[in-house]
């Protein structure tokens, strides 16, 4: 009887999913993977004390998404929290489909007790990424997990298949609840220094990676923290860098790697040392007090536990970090998602048609701490911008509400949107006059990090650009009192979030939306609004299909 019921509900669920799937035009030529996720609160102990965490199907971190280039991902999210919830997908480009991006400016939150089915496609992508809850300070409570996009079988990968593929989601952690952290920011204050770091949701030696002597393993490491850059290293082992956010790199060896907020790296590590256990170390970078945590690399034939202090790493030194960043380059002959080599796209031969300069700042507005881009501190509209645009609801945003050069007047609030032309090829310069490291992420695109250096960017800085073999990625750091320049092809129509990956900064206004626009109204350029799109704010009661 019980089995019958379960079977029955399964059939209904499958049918519902199938209908949703067909009506939303998931790409039928490619395989689909189905996920059902229940979002709940539950007890977690990342730093050894009990805290309320955000769990997905009871798990913290959440379930892995493992897929292959072009797969459809159909993810039904049931929100059992007592507040609205939304998931975003760091690094998934959502080609023609910013509807699925899962940030406040594109997608209505899933109300408590409701569900929403995301229909994504890993279109033309490979590599290592992660998903995370995008509203408020939810990210400080968990709800994140890894995304691996494997190459299709016929596409060559520039290294032999590893004996194992490990995920490391690491970052800073606070013992304070996400509600309390949000309250601190809402009251106009900065967050306290983090209480510690975690590796895959655990504290000191709380997680073990078991390896076989002589074998080579892939480690995919993402910084899922909200406040600080980290340094990653494995005691006694060097790491061969092979991938950065979907780019295959020159396979250089590193003894430690700086990973800024929101960034993801893949390294190969060979278990070629005497059989014992070794520390896997993560420490905070560019902080005056250094936080450290460890996991364990355990050789299967080892009887010797880790002991003594873990190996130290770089702390506040910036020059070595900049040097390392410049050494991370594209392997021009390796393939990535497509069979042709990465280097067959000559990004350095294209002249950008527009230069956007973005300066971050930390102004006080009405006596409260805020963050701003070109003096505009972002505040959400009453309706997701993508929906306001689609339904032509006036007064939500103005597509020219943020200047594309620094404006050094008083900072002000706006629901800032910058208009840009579909198919333009642009240059963006991130100019950082603050004394902290910035981490900038752009949804919907990968971009080429053509240069970074200290001081003021000027047109003459272009003479030092790497126009040959820099990596293409989706998150870049900007060092203190320095600049970073990127090239980006606007080949993806939509409303795309450009944000600080430091969550205090993001939450208090260091973000805006890039509206990549074409007047064409063609399904070739952008998918229609999903039939199942949630409607909220002034889009409530509208229809996702004409009657």
Ligand X SMILES: *[C@@H]1O[C@H](CO)[C@@H](O)[C@H](O)[C@H]1NC(C)=O
Query: Contact positions toward ligand X, by CB under 6 A?
Result: 114-115, 158, 250-251, 331, 333-334
Residue with Cβ nearer ligand X (184 or 250): 250
Closest distance to ligand X from the beta carbon of 159 (Å): 8
Residue 475 C-beta: closest distance to ligand X, Å: 22
Of the pair 325, 420, the CB lying nearest ligand X is at: 325
- CA 171-172-173 angle, 5° bins: 120
CB of 251 to ligand X, least distance (A): 4
Residue 167 or residue 335: which is nearer to ligand X going by CB?
335
Separation between Cα atoms, residue 485 and residue 282, nearest integer Å: 28
CB of 287 to ligand X, least distance (A): 33
Q: Which is nearer to ligand X, 115 or 179 (CB)?
A: 115
As measured in angstroms, the least distance from the Cβ of 35 to ligand X is 14
Closer residue to ligand X (CB): 158 or 206: 158
Cis peptide before 61 (omega within 30 of 0): yes
For residue 44 the two structure tokens come to 């977690």
- State the nearest-atom distance from the C-beta of 521 to ligand X, in Å: 27
Q: How far is the CB of 480 from ligand X (least distance, A)?
A: 31
20 vs 467 by CB, closer to ligand X: 20
Element holding 320 (H helix, E strand): helix 319-327
Q: How far is the CB of 543 from ligand X (least distance, A)?
A: 14
Place of tokens 């399964």: 10
Q: Which is nearer to ligand X, 59 or 115 (CB)?
A: 115
CA distance 413 to 185: 16
Cα 24 to Cα 97, 185, 331, 530, 533, distances in angstroms: 11, 38, 37, 6, 10
Phi and psi, residue 397, nearest 5°: -150, 165
* Closer Cβ to ligand X, 78 or 193, answer by number: 78
Q: Which residues contact 118 (CB under 8 A, 6 or more apart)?
A: 73, 74, 75, 76, 77, 87, 100, 102
HEC-encoded secondary structure of 250-314: CCCEECCEEECCCCEEEEEEECCCCCCEEEEEEEEECCCCCCEEEEEEEECCCCCCCCCCCCCCC
Long-range contacts for 36-43 (Cβ within 8 Å, ≥24 apart)? Answer: 36/76, 36/78, 37/62, 37/63, 37/75, 37/76, 37/77, 37/78, 38/78, 38/80, 39/77, 39/78, 39/79, 39/80, 39/81, 39/85, 39/143, 40/80, 40/81, 41/80, 41/81
Contact 244, 447 (CB under 8 A): no
Of the two residues 33 and 240, which places its CB atom closer to ligand X in the complex?
A: 240
Taking the complex as a whole, the smallest distance from the CB of residue 110 to ligand X amounts, in Å, to 9
Comparing CB distances to ligand X, the nearer of 115 and 518 is 115
Least Å distance between CB 120 and ligand X?
Answer: 18
Distance CA 522, CA 429 (A): 31
């Amino acid at each position: 009887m019980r089995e019958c019921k379960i079977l029955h509900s399964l059939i209904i669920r499958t049918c519902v999913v199938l209908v949703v799937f067909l009506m939303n035009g998931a790409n039928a030529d490619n395989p689909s993977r189905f996920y059902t996720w229940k979002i709940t609160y539950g007890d977690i102990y990342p730093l050894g004390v009990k805290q309320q965490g955000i769990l997905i199907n009871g798990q913290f971190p959440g379930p892995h998404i493992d897929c292959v280039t072009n797969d459809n991902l159909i993810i039904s999210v049931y929100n059992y929290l007592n507040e609205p919830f939304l998931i975003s997908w760091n690094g998934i480009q959502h080609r023609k489909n910013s509807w699925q991006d899962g940030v406040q400016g594109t997608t209505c939150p899933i109300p408590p007790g409701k569900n929403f089915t995301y229909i994504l496609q890993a279109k033309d992508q490979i590599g290592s990424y992660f998903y995370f809850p995008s509203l408020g300070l939810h990210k400080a409570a968990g709800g994140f997990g890894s995304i691996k996009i494997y190459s299709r079988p016929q596409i060559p990968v520039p290294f032999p298949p590893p004996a194992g593929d490990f995920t490391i989601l690491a970052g800073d952690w606070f013992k304070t609840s996400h509600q309390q952290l949000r309250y601190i920011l809402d009251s106009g204050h900065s967050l306290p220094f983090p209480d510690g770091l975690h590796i895959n949701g655990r504290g000191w030696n709380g997680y073990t990676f078991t390896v076989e002597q002589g074998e080579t393993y892939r480690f995919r490491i993402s910084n899922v923290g909200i406040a600080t850059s980290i340094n990653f290293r494995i005691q006694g082992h060097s790491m061969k860098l092979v991938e950065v956010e979907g780019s295959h790199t020159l396979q250089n060896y590193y003894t430690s790697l700086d990973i800024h907020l929101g960034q993801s790296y893949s390294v190969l590590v060979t278990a070629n040392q005497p059989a014992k256990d070794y520390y896997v170390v993560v420490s905070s970078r560019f902080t005056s007090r250094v936080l450290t945590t460890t996991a364990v690399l355990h050789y299967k034939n080892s009887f010797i536990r880790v002991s003594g202090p873990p190996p130290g790493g770089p702390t506040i030194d910036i020059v070595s970090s900049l040097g390392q960043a410049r050494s991370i380059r594209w392997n021009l002959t390796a393939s990535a998602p497509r069979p042709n080599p990465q280097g067959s796209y000559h990004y350095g031969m294209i002249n950008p048609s527009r230069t956007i300069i973005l300066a971050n700042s930390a102004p006080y507005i009405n006596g409260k701490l805020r963050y701003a881009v070109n003096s505009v501190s972002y505040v959400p509209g009453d309706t997701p911008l993508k929906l306001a645009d689609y339904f032509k609801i006036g007064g939500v945003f103005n597509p020219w509400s943020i200047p594309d050069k620094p404006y050094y007047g008083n900072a002000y609030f706006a629901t800032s949107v910058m208009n840009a032309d579909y198919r333009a090829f642009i240059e963006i310069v991130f100019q950082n006059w603050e004394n902290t490291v910035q981490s900038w992420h752009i949804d919907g695109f990968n971009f080429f990090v053509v240069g970074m250096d200290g001081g003021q960017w000027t047109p003459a800085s272009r003479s030092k650009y790497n126009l040959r073999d820099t990596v293409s990625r989706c998150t870049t750091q900007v060092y203190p009192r320095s600049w970073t320049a990127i090239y980006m092809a606007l080949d993806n129509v939509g409303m795309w979030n450009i944000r600080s990956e430091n969550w205090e900064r993001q939450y208090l206004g260091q973000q805006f939306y890039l509206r990549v626009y074409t007047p064409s109204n063609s399904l070739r350029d952008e998918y229609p609004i999903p039939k199942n799109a949630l409607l909220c704010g002034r889009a409530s009661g509208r229809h996702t299909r004409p009657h």
